A and B are shown apart, each in its own frame.
Chain A
Amino acid sequence: NAGVMQNPRHLVRRRGQEARLRCSPMKGHSHVYWYRQLPEEGLKFMVYLQKENIIDESGMPKERFSAEFPKEGPSILRIQQVVRGDSAAYFCASSPRLAEGTYEQYFGPGTRLTVT
């Protein structure tokens, strides 16, 4: 059973470009969470999605950031018009349906975004 997969692992963008980060949850998991880790800081929650639904986006910056988790395919975190302050590691986690298991979130390897 493959773990949570994220791609790309490293992404370099110039200021003003768009960044698209992808996350494929573990098999059988239908809940996806995105976290951001700024340099020398802990991880901060950004958004929680289920298939075709955004459940909680309270941690997302108000502008330029969006997320989706379509019926088919990976979850996408999209950052438009990137700025240097967006440089960070972005982690995706997944969990089973909330009715099952210990609600534990399993983390992917992260995407390291560098904005030049």
Chain B
Amino acid sequence: KQEVTQIPAALSVPEGENLVLNCSFTDSAIYNLQWFRQDPGKGLTSLLLIQSSQREQTSGRLNASLDKSSGRSTLYIAASQPGDSATYLCAVRRGDSSYKLIFGSGTRLLVRP
């Protein structure tokens, strides 16, 4: 059974700091992995999607890496800003073409001005 864990559960950093959010999954047979951002009381915004054949994806100040063999992904945020404050969720899609996304519990990020 696929389980997704995100560490840390919460993180508070001063503005400008580079930071790394971690996501681990128990079954390496995944189809893809996706990072989302969730603002309080709002929906999910897709940030990056990494296919199982890829090692990383970049968008602006965000970089996500994927290491299937170790069951890990990291989301790197460069030069953090207060507007980055949100909950970050990772989700994996199983490798058997299953459509279900298996979510982690998220990392709640606060970037202090």
Contact = CB atoms under 8 A, between A and B. Distances in A.
B109 interface: no
B44 A103 contact: no
A107 to B, nearest CB: 4
Contacts, number: 57
Contacts of A48: 99-100
A45 B102 CA distance: 7
Interface string A83-116: 0000000010101001000111111111010000
Which of under 10, 10 to 19, 20 to 34, or 35 or more describes the interface residues of B? 20 to 34
B interface majority secondary structure = strand
Contacts of B106: 42
B104 interface: yes
Nearest to A4: B43
Interface of B: 4, 31-32, 34, 36, 41-46, 49, 51, 89, 91, 93, 99-106
20 contacts: A31-B99, A33-B99, A35-B103, A40-B105, A41-B105, A42-B4, A42-B89, A42-B105, A45-B101, A56-B100, A93-B101, A102-B49, A104-B34, A104-B46, A104-B49, A105-B99, A107-B46, A109-B43, A110-B43, A112-B41
